[in-house]
Structure 1
């Protein structure tokens, strides 16, 4: 009688739900569900639902019907079959651990029946994506909850029926699982425990931890030990009363703290998806999400560390993660973005604000550190940009370690979960700020972010910027990395003191550099970037169409043969398609000609295209160095080529964040040589390598490839020649003056060669070269910032000159000569002599 009543109630609920079912709008993960699950059609399927809810079952049935998956059925005391998939609720499984039930007997029978097997598919159904907020009556009623009863579930369905999210776990083989246990009781216990942890982690990965009200967060920060110590320190000497110090601490906390709200997340998701991204980008191409989801569902604390090229970066990452069923992170944003109305909106989406400098305000520094520590302690995902600001050139900037140091310290101090640092490469077919970047590189003042600037930025909605690309790389597990590279960290932090391990600063610096290399190793070679590499390396930035297609094809095959091919992503590999896709976005001109059309780019558009080239230039660094050695030679031994690359590799590694260690560069160079030989870009001639015949298409590609790093080699040569010249004069050389002289020579060279490329004479690049020379011992910096130059620099300058074209070599030597004459001339001699009157 009870079973019949239960069946009648179920049927009644089903028919009541049917009209409501049309209102339901759901998303699933994985996105390609049938392909990802790979269900075996010869074995029955059993779905495991996280909660005992008929509404969840009805939604699961609809999803399975829509996606042509086995539909769930209430099998009662019968085994599921291939034709009739079963469904089990996790609470029912948990009951089997406390007392025998019908389900217990069914599982025991299944275990004893050796020919019975099934595919167990755990399914979490979330009504809305709100993690819930402590002490909120509204969310207690409408936010999804595993404890929700029938009445509350009805209200949850009404409030969140348009945003249902279903997460499907990978199938678990029943027979394979239970056969590993000695008896049925232990097998059931282990199975329920495994599923229970799976659902807990899936919920945390999708929704995140329960939120605290913002005022609770701020009050908690003011009670932190380091904040109280900073307040006490500020009161010493009578410069500030305790009340004023506490008020300042509260003001700092209010300036910093996020106000993460699901309503804002939903609003931004719809605004970005329906208006901004839909109009600006043709699509968002994402890679590495499945790997990331696995890490999130294994219980790791996720810290996203993306490259920073546009204000769109943080919006793209949060939007992508939300769509993938992962909780959007709390984002460290510059305080310059905290203006109306953007500031409050971003704060509601999880942004917490930081100043460019903490210098002089110890209370602010203490509050910010305490806030970062609280985010890590509570398990929130975090995102920050290790470069500190947007790249104006398209290259990765040298990392700033302040924020990373705080995250690392907080992560190593807590023992609840491991922290996974995720490298994220973000790229665009066309970055919408690239025009303003070019102006800033030429000396224009950076425009301050404001509501007025936001209105002006609305003009981007009328333009097409191609695709946006996001590539999530393999995470670095912080604790495991520290075990290898930071001796004694566990003992130091276990002592619960404010002390840090002796090598902590060096460890953070090394970790930051490794992370930048991981970002570049996961680069996306998009069509516009590939077109930019080939076109900008062509003489006069013009090339015939057949040659253009041939060169892009070689670039694609080079990347496919790269030692990093497993990490790289090439969205489009057909050369002709790459040309067709990139031409309208990059504004590449087609010039008709009877002998075949040409492709060219104007000077102004070439500046913008340089940005795209710089995104992926590092991928061709070593092949370009190899090709460059054949610009003035027809034959070279393999050993000579390896020696030439090895001599310059430290500079390449610093500038382009290449991941190989110096001791690995020989094997990597030989690998590239084999790839170039296979592509016909080089040929073997006895015991030496030979460049192709000048009339062959392969020679054209080799010459283009050599020019890819042309500007980089010119900067190396400027640095080496100037140091060698200064060494011969035996005069005191100050670092600041040397860096400025390098910049001035490069600037003059750019003007004389007609280059509209301000990045060519970027002082930061010369600063990086000098740091590398100091690291390898060719230059020593003294306490007063004077430079002592080793004699080996002269040989290095001679070798670098050999890698330049005759014209460039002559120009550079003349510039150095004129610089010397200009320095030694008297002021009167510098004045031009007027012509004699006739």
Structure 2
């Protein structure tokens, strides 16, 4: 076909007219016929010929070069990374889609759906293919470690003072080789994806479950290349859920390092939410404690001195009958936030949003867990299965909560939401310092910048006064009444670490651990 196009193009370009001699003529003389082609046809044929040249001659060389470069990068990374790139991640996306479509459990679900809805099996498989194409990522090691890591590092360090508060190195080093690693995290901001991927980039490449919000071009292409897979939140389509379940099972069995949020979404009020068990259940369904890979959960705690979406998240807690008004207010809030900070940058008065801290806790081996509790998740069904999965989910959520770092803004905000009267800086210290001691006695990880408690208090107080959440007048500081919801949001980040709920009039440092 390409050679035919080239020949035709050569004929066209040599002359716009051609002469045809018919050896048989009723008058005994040659017959001449002129053929004229429009310019657009000539251009179209030229483009087709050019595409044929690129496809047959240049593209194979380009593909070979890209594949060779990618394989070289993967080989280098597998030497450096603690958890290397798995063969599952290197498999072509179309192969994974085909494997998922023709998985026996997916086929059984497709047959059941076809019978229940009285539609042909082939029609159902079209839907299955669409689900598989939607879910399966297209991991690219070059984009993840060269482009994605550079972007995440620049963004994280530009917005925050990023700190790794603590990591259980002994526990992490004791993980058996070949285990599937799952990072279990609290979800405070969309920055969580960027922050954890940046801090874990020297260990492994993480695969995230991403909601439908990110399915916009070209963002979805970049997210797929980073190894993330898309999830429809709260979908009640049994066929879709079975396709998603089998992909998660395949990735887990393939040793793909993953990261997921048990809360299922962003915390709207700053406090830890009850775990949602869908993805966790999918990971457990085919786990074999005697054969195959171990499944190791690593609790990860995240906290910020300032969450970019705090006011937007608080708006979402309003009643449902104000949805349209809330949507408009949310867009207005986001736009004002952006314009305000652009103006500060232009005036050279912009500061980073304080500290962002991450803690990696003690790993939990599922193989050890099921042996201790005498459980085989493959054999469970119904209410018993739900009870067992919920118990593990609660234990993981408690482990995550225990490693949420305590930052300066959360400390100072906790004092202000429990004190209704103005406080001097000395009185503020008198409540913050005992609060730090109480939290440390409970085993909490308190991040003290520069190991200086005075500086930590200064940083937290400055952040709140710059945002006008706290008013300062003649050396006395008091929370603004209209900003108490925002202060509660930051205090809630560490409320689960306090011994018991505190009254609004009780000094927070007065309780014994």
Distance 2:318 2:251 in 1: 40
Query: Aligned ranges for residues 403-552 of structure 1 at < 5 Å?
Result: 403-412=279-288, 415-443=291-319, 445=323, 447=327, 464-487=352-375, 489=376, 500=381, 503-540=384-421, 542-552=422-432
Mapped pair 1:226 → 2:92: no
Residue 441 of structure 1: CA displacement?
2.1
Describe the shift of the 1:380–1:369 C-alpha distance in structure 2 as closer, same or farther (beyond 3 A): same
Distance 2:66 2:139 in 1: 14
Tell me if structure 2 keeps the 8 A contact 1:376–1:410: no
Identify which of 271, 282, 291 aligns with 1:395: 271
| Aligned position for 1:783 | none
Query: Aligned ranges for residues 431-830 of structure 1 at < 5 Å?
Result: 431-443=307-319, 445=323, 447=327, 464-487=352-375, 489=376, 500=381, 503-540=384-421, 542-562=422-442, 564=443, 568-572=445-449, 574-587=452-465, 589=470, 591-593=472-474, 597-622=475-500, 703-705=507-509
SS at match of 1:394: coil
SS at match of 2:106: helix
Tell me if structure 2 keeps the 8 A contact 1:339–1:451: no
Distance 1:230 1:441 in 2: 37
| Aligned position for 1:379 | 255
Tell me if structure 2 keeps the 8 A contact 1:531–1:579: yes
Residue 413 of structure 1: CA displacement?
7.2
Residue 500 of structure 1: CA displacement?
4.2
| Aligned position for 1:214 | 93
Mapped pair 1:279 → 2:163: no
SS at match of 2:499: helix
Identify which of 132, 147, 150 aligns with 1:253: 132
Mapped pair 1:240 → 2:119: yes
Distance 1:428 1:376 in 2: 30
Describe the shift of the 1:250–1:452 C-alpha distance in structure 2 as closer, same or farther (beyond 3 A): farther
Tell me if structure 1 keeps the 8 A contact 2:110–2:239: yes
Describe the shift of the 1:214–1:576 C-alpha distance in structure 2 as closer, same or farther (beyond 3 A): same
Query: Aligned ranges for residues 81-96 of structure 1 at < 5 Å?
Result: none
Q: After superposing the two structures, state which structure 1 stretch, 288-297 or 515-524, moved more.
A: 288-297
Query: Aligned ranges for residues 362-377 of structure 1 at < 5 Å?
Result: 362-377=238-253
| Aligned position for 2:5 | none
Distance 2:295 2:238 in 1: 27
Distance 2:424 2:337 in 1: 37
Residue 268 of structure 1: CA displacement?
2.0
| Aligned position for 2:68 | 141
| Aligned position for 1:668 | none
Distance 2:112 2:310 in 1: 46
Residue 279 of structure 1: CA displacement?
2.2
Tell me if structure 2 keeps the 8 A contact 1:340–1:451: no
SS at match of 1:524: coil
Give unpaired runs (5+ residues) of structure 1: 1-135, 145-155, 168-198, 494-498, 632-699, 709-838
| Aligned position for 1:343 | 220
SS at match of 2:393: helix
Distance 1:315 1:245 in 2: 37
Deviations 1:776-815 (A, max 9, x none): xxxxxxxxxxxxxxxxxxxxxxxxxxxxxxxxxxxxxxxx
Residue 365 of structure 1: CA displacement?
1.6
SS at match of 2:299: strand
Give unpaired runs (5+ residues) of structure 2: 1-62
Describe the shift of the 1:204–1:578 C-alpha distance in structure 2 as closer, same or farther (beyond 3 A): closer
SS at match of 2:316: helix
When normalised by structure 1's length, the TM-score is: 0.47
Residue 141 of structure 1: CA displacement?
2.4
Residue 454 of structure 1: CA displacement?
9.3
Distance 2:363 2:479 in 1: 39
Tell me if structure 1 keeps the 8 A contact 2:268–2:313: yes
Aligned residues: 431
Distance 1:582 1:569 in 2: 13
Describe the shift of the 1:358–1:592 C-alpha distance in structure 2 as closer, same or farther (beyond 3 A): closer
SS at match of 1:205: coil
Tell me if structure 1 keeps the 8 A contact 2:152–2:197: no
SS at match of 1:503: helix
Residue 453 of structure 1: CA displacement?
11
Question: Cα RMSD between the aligned structures?
Answer: 3.3
Describe the shift of the 1:483–1:371 C-alpha distance in structure 2 as closer, same or farther (beyond 3 A): same
Describe the shift of the 1:536–1:357 C-alpha distance in structure 2 as closer, same or farther (beyond 3 A): closer
SS at match of 1:621: coil
| Aligned position for 1:48 | none
Distance 1:512 1:547 in 2: 41
Deviations 1:573-606 (A, max 9, x none): 533212211123222656354xxx2122323443
Query: Aligned ranges for residues 151-170 of structure 1 at < 5 Å?
Result: 156=72
Residue 351 of structure 1: CA displacement?
1.3
Distance 1:451 1:471 in 2: 32
Residue 293 of structure 1: CA displacement?
4.6
Residue 570 of structure 1: CA displacement?
2.9
Return the index of the structure with the highest Cα Rg.
Answer: 1
Distance 1:543 1:526 in 2: 20
Describe the shift of the 1:341–1:423 C-alpha distance in structure 2 as closer, same or farther (beyond 3 A): same
Describe the shift of the 1:454–1:418 C-alpha distance in structure 2 as closer, same or farther (beyond 3 A): farther
Higher relative contact order (CA 8 A, sep 6+): 2
Residue 512 of structure 1: CA displacement?
0.7
Residue 455 of structure 1: CA displacement?
8.6
Describe the shift of the 1:414–1:430 C-alpha distance in structure 2 as closer, same or farther (beyond 3 A): farther
SS at match of 2:250: helix
Tell me if structure 1 keeps the 8 A contact 2:439–2:446: no
Deviations 1:381-406 (A, max 9, x none): 11111111110111111111111111
